[in-house]
Amino acid sequence: MIVRPRPNLLTILFALRGSILPKVAPKVITISALACLVVAVEQRHAVWFPVTAGIGPFTLVGLALSIFLSFRNGACYDRWWEARRAWGTLIVEMRALARLLPALLPEDEALARRALRRTVGFAHALHARLRGLDETQAALAWLPPEEADALAERPSAADAALAGLTRDLAGALRAGRIGEVTFATLEQKVASLSAIQATCERIHGTPLPFAYTLLLYRTAWLYCLLLPFGLAGSLGWSTPVVAALVAYAFFGLDALGDELEEPFGTDANDLPLDTLLHAAATPALDALGETRLEAPKPERFMLR
């Protein structure tokens, strides 16, 4: 995720870090080159262009394409924002557990510490799953060593961490070390963590329908390829500039939608999961009295 001060005019014009321009530059250059070729041919061989469609048809198609782009980008942003809310809720629930576990289990410090470490393991496993990393390896450092073999056989290390937490609390309930009210309070927090996991996995595993992307991509290419033919007769050598601006807007919005559609990746406009993981795990580590994780810092305005 790009983190930088409010840009001035010079920064707006020339900033590339975090801009979508590097991704769409080859397409914009292609459209500009085609527009130059069309204008050159039109001026040398006007007889080849006996009828010009003008700008009218392109206005209608461009309006429809703009509406469709807005719809897709709105849907992609909703996914990005829902993912951010889910991780915000995870931070809230982790902070609540870091307060509740030591307070509700003052006479069973071993259980409280074990439970806190399981929550940290859950956060690390969820982070690894969403980033395409080895979630089992990410969780192992925080879970009991005797569970390593069983953890490797589980389909989800994050779910295994929550199952182990519930198992520990249920064992304490049966042994009479905690009451039913305490168990219900803590289990409600575990259920909230599980709901957050399900939300993130749903976003991660369910992209927008491919037909939307395919239709938009085809239409944008056809529109930009045909646009110079409609503008060359009236705009002359201004056509490449106009065509480049239109291509930059359409292809740029399309590329930005692709980044927002998968909010857990490592693109410039994706969520800073490393930073969010640090914020979620720090309260538990503070309650454990263990060394805190090093907070990620922006590198060239990029926060991961």
The full set of domain ranges for the chain reads 21-45+52-288
Relative orientation angle of helices 239-261 and 21-44, to the nearest 10 degrees: 150
Nearest to 33 by CA among 188, 228, 300, 252: 228
Asked if residue 131 has pLDDT above 70, the reply is yes
Angle 196-259-223 from CA coordinates, rounded to 5°: 140
Asked if residue 292 has pLDDT above 70, the reply is no
58 vs 186: which has the higher pLDDT: 186
**pTM score of the predicted model:** 0.88
- Measured CA to CA, the distance from residue 304 to residue 302 in angstroms comes to 6
Q: Which of 40-49, 57-66, 96-105, 139-148 comes out lowest in average pLDDT?
A: 40-49
- Measured CA to CA, the distance from residue 126 to residue 201 in angstroms comes to 9
Residue 152, CA atoms < 13 Å, CB-side half-sphere? 5
For residues 208 and 195, the answer to whether their CB atoms sit within 8 Å is no
Q: Which tokens go with 132?
A: 């395409």
| Paired residues of 2 in beta bridges | 302
Nearest to 123 by CA among 90, 89, 150, 95: 90
Find the mean pLDDT for residues 271-277: 92
Q: Which tokens go with 245?
A: 């601006």
Q: Which tokens go with 73?
A: 């980008």
Asked if residue 86 has pLDDT above 90, the reply is yes
- Measured CA to CA, the distance from residue 273 to residue 266 in angstroms comes to 9
- Measured CA to CA, the distance from residue 97 to residue 117 in angstroms comes to 11
For residues 239 and 50, the answer to whether their CB atoms sit within 8 Å is no
**Residue 47 pLDDT:** 61
For residues 259 and 269, the answer to whether their CB atoms sit within 8 Å is yes
Residues 6+ apart with CB under 8 A from 214: none
DSSP 3-state of 299: strand
CA distances to 88, 129, 138, 148, 162 from 133, in Å:
21, 6, 8, 17, 19
- Measured CA to CA, the distance from residue 184 to residue 169 in angstroms comes to 10
Nearest to 21 by CA among 247, 220, 228: 247
The pLDDT-based confidence of 300 (bands split at 50, 70, 90) is low
Question: Can you give the length of the chain in residues?
Answer: 304
Q: Distance from first CA to last CA of the chain, Å, rounded?
A: 6
Asked if residue 88 has pLDDT above 80, the reply is yes
pLDDT digits (tens, 9 = 90+) for 14-45: 666 667 888 899 999 999 999 999 888 888 87
